Structure 1
Amino acid sequence: MTGMPAPTAPPMPPSSPGPVSARARAGWRDPFRWILENPGTVDLVSFGGATLTMLVLGLGTGNLGWWVVFSVPMVLAGAVCRIRPLLGVLVIGSLALLHVLVGMPVVLGDAMTFYALFCAVAYGTSTVHVVGVVAGMLGVLVQSTAWAVLALLDQYGGIAQAATTFVVLVVVGTITIVAIWALANLQRARVRQLALTRERAEQAVREREQRTALAVADERARIAREMHDVVAHSLSVIIAQADGGRFVAAQKPERAVEVLATIGETGRSALADMRSLLGVLRQEDETSFGPQPGPAQLSDLMERVRGAGLEVDLEIHGSLEDLPHAVGVSVFRLVQESLTNVLKHAGPGATAAVRLERTAEHLTLEVLDDGRGTDPDSDGLGHGLTGMRERMAALGGTLQAGPLPSRGFRVQASVPLADPAGPARPRSTAA
């Protein structure tokens, strides 16, 4: 019994082209954009082809003469009129004047004088603009004079005919110059508008990149503050417990179990906070590995600090249950960082007191200790106080921190509350 033939895999589609080929295909689909961005190449091909066509037709008809000597370079000079308008005006104007002086009033290349004037006004500077208009009017006068002289020398002409010819050609030439000047000014305004639009687009891109960079910097600063608060506090507690654990293990071995339990609990709490931060960085769907820090966790924080050997009192006046999330997190972090600094710098035997008071408009936080005030072993390069000031500045609050006159250190912060709460309900808890 023969088995069914295995289904053949469908043919794989050809690999998609890379970014470069995509841009190339976009360029072929938008030839007008390429024409606008490459004026020199376009003009060289156009006027070069016109010159070649003119030579081929002249050879085919046997009508090559002195006019070719002037017309060919005048047409070729049109290739530089848009990118070098002054050069184009000088070359074409000089050749137009020269062929009149040698007795050839009109050649085929004279049509390029109008194009040179247009480019001088539309793409040139103010000086080139003036030079182009002056050259155009000079050309009108030269041509009018040349034709007037021919009319005067003609056997059927005379002074009246010569004057009429001169006036008519001057009027027609002036009207032509004015019309070309007006069209060129419209093109000049359009070019300026396109340049302004492109500049604004580039400015918008730069501003968007700057805003993105500032947002990234703010996010990095926020994450750095959170990391500092989590790591500095947890490691300070663990180090204090480990230092005291050596003494406890030698004097009262049965108490060593409590010290190790405190170290383990602090480490697990720090690990949960680190996981939460890393989850935000990785944009995971589930980043909550525990309750977010806030006033509700202050009692747990006090227990951990007391377990590290620091006697601390907590007083709360007013309800903290309905605080905004950002304010609640900042309050917890400020208390955490302040107590961490007490553990690190206040010295042995120090005690601390935390006091929070909420009114209808403000929330005031104060952390006091009776330690040595300034740690002589500290290099002053920490970021704890800087991070606390940044938190308060982000909330529109203020922070004052410094040693007390006698001994000890005080941290005092005030945060404005946007939504005033009801009457404060005094509540005091003390250890």
Structure 2
Amino acid sequence: MTTGRSPDAPAGPHSAGSAPQPGRTGRGFRDPFRWIIENPGTVDLIGFGTAAALMLLFGAGGAGWWVLFSVPMVLAAAVCRTRPLLGVIVIGVLAVSHVLVGIPVVAGDAMTFYAMFCAVAYGTTAVHLIGVAAGMLGVLVQATWFGIATAFGEYGSLGQGAITFVGLGIIGTITIVAIWALANLQRARVRQLALTRDRAEQAVREREQRTALAVADERARIAREMHDVVAHSLSVIIAQADGGRFVASQKPEKAVEVLGTIGETGRAALADMRSLLGVLRQEDETSFGPQPGPEQLPELLERVRAAGLEVDLEVEGSLGQLPSSVGMSVFRLVQEALTNVLKHAGPGASASVRLVRGAEGLVIEVVDDGQGTDPTSDGLGHGLTGMRERMSVLGGALQAGPLPSRGYRVRATVPLPADHGTPAEADGPASPYTTTDPGPAADDPRGETP
């Protein structure tokens, strides 16, 4: 027994009573064949209704009572495709009724074969069985009638009646089997069409889901970039502004230099923001410029030093010939780690940045000697989360947490692909793989930049 929507009617828009779909009305007049396929109930009503009207018109003047049975049987055939069980019941009752009143055959009896065909092709398993049983019952009734009429006729005999009964039974059974086979072919076709349509709809849903996931990933990437740009730049500007007040009161001539650093940092942040907003607006004319990489680390450290944090850079091994995504992730990881040092390490802290490329991959380590965990932080920032996400994209691991004595350490390891070769001995610009992995400090309350 089938479940859900039964195949009483052809799948999809063939079903009677289904909600009209937008645009179908106007398109039907331009594409009549498609309209015929998509509206079986209306087509059958027009066709069989016209046939019933003509039968009533030309048969009403005659003396035959067959019109009273044939017209309802033809009208009932109009619902056989959309309501096969109802069609089988109405036509079957009328077929038996006219035999009981002494009319063995009427023109409407042809509808019994059509009703059975629709029951098998479009009905549920139960309707299928009822249709076949009704067909065989009709064959039995007709064979019995003519067999009795032949046996007890004026020139008949029991032997002739038996031959008539058997002959009509065989012919009727062959007819029923043939109709059953054709109906099963139609049923298989209907199911195949339904399966094809379901697969097409599933493909559309999966494509929409993939698009939504791609959009979400791109939004998350842009959000990480904006966070890195805004958090670092504002931290430097705030540190310069706080120091600028003291410098302005003690050494006014130094205030110009502080204001210059603030202006340069703000302009650089504004340029980065315009680039990211250009991506969101899909402006083809936007000039994005080169993406930051290890070669920009000295400039980054200068800005951090100008904000009042002493920081050293140590590079071991060659950092050249690395993918641009790796280089940008290295730059952003160092930028975010130093931003956290500026915000949370406390006064008088210093930091060191160490990049090591070996045979197994790249190690990025940022260590400071500040107060370690910031007791004033609520731990709700997204800095460490963003670093872990960058590392996870590249297949690496990140560990972040306070040191046993004093200070804080951020350490990331990135496996490098074999096609980048063994690192050379000479130092060079770095562009390491950065990936994230929930390290021991996943829930560390140390301030992550908000």
Q: TM-score scaled by structure 1?
A: 0.91
Partner of 1:187: 186
1:58-108 CA-to-partner distances (Å, cap 9, x unmatched) read 24xx21532122111111111111111111111111110111111110011
Residue identity matched to 1:123: Y
SS class of match (1:320): coil
Residue 38 (str. 1) matches residue 42 (str. 2) = no
Answering whether residue 427 of structure 2 is matched by residue 427 of structure 1, we say yes
Displacement of 1:276 in angstroms is 1.7
The equivalent residue for 2:435 is none
Identity rate, percent? 76
CA distance in 1 between counterparts of 2:40 and 2:64 reads 32
Aligned to 1:393: 392
Superposed CA RMSD: 1.8
Cα 1:191–1:391 change in 2 (3 A) is: same
Structure 2 matches for 1:143-154, cutoff 5 A?
A: 143-154=142-153
Post-superposition shift, 1:361?
Answer: 3.6
Whether the 8 Å contact between 1:360 and 1:420 is mirrored in structure 2 is no
How far apart are 1:166 and its partner, in Å? 0.6
SS at match of 1:425: coil
Alpha-carbon distance in structure 1 between the residues aligned to 2:198 and 2:300: 55
State the partner residue of 1:202.
201
* Unaligned residue ranges in structure 2 (runs of 5+): 1-20, 430-450
The alpha carbon displacement at 1:23 in A equals 6.0
Taking the aligned partners of 1:239 and 1:31, their CA distance within structure 2 comes to: 72
Q: CA deviation at 1:323?
A: 1.2
Q: Secondary structure at the match of 1:266?
A: helix
Displacement of 1:36: 2.2
Q: Which has the higher contact order (CA 8 A, sep 6+)?
A: 2
Q: CA deviation at 1:250?
A: 0.8
Q: Please tell me whether residue 236 in structure 1 is matched to residue 197 in structure 2.
A: no
Sort the Cα spacing of 1:132 and 1:230 in 2 relative to 1 into closer, same or farther, 3 A: same
Q: Is contact 2:321-2:420 (8 Å) kept?
A: no
Give the residue type in structure 1 aligned to 2:145. Answer: A
| Paired residues of 1:317 and 1:424 also in contact (CA < 8 A) | no
- In structure 2, the CA distance between the partners of 1:187 and 1:290, relative to structure 1 (3 Å rule), is closer
Tell me the SS of whatever aligns to 1:316: strand
Distance 2:319 2:274 in 1: 27
- Deviation, 1:24, is 5.0
Output aligned runs, 1:5-44, within 5 Å.
Answer: 26-44=27-45
Cα distance in 2 for partners of 1:428, 1:313 equals 16
Partner residue in 1 for 2:442: none
The structural deviation recorded for 1:289 is 5.2
**Corresponding position of 1:89:** 88
Corresponding residue for residue 56 of structure 2:
55
Paired positions, count: 408
The correspondence of residues 4-403 of structure 1 with structure 2, limited to 5 A, is 26-59=27-60, 62-63=61-62, 65-288=64-287, 290-403=289-402
Give the distance between the partners of 2:271 and 2:260, measured in 1 at CA: 17
Instruction: Work out the CA distance in 2 between the residues paired with 1:399 and 1:77.
Output: 75
Structure 1 residues without counterparts, runs of 5 or longer: 1-19
| TM-score scaled by length of structure 2 | 0.87
Q: What is the CA-CA distance between 1:392 and the residue it aligns to?
A: 0.8
Give 1:339 deviation, angstroms: 0.5
Q: 1:290 to 1:158 in 2, by over 3 A?
A: closer
Check the 8 A contact 1:360/1:424 in 2, yes or no: no
Alignment partner of 1:319: what SS?
coil
The CA deviation at 1:252 is 1.1
Contact 1:315 1:428 survives alignment (8 Å) = no
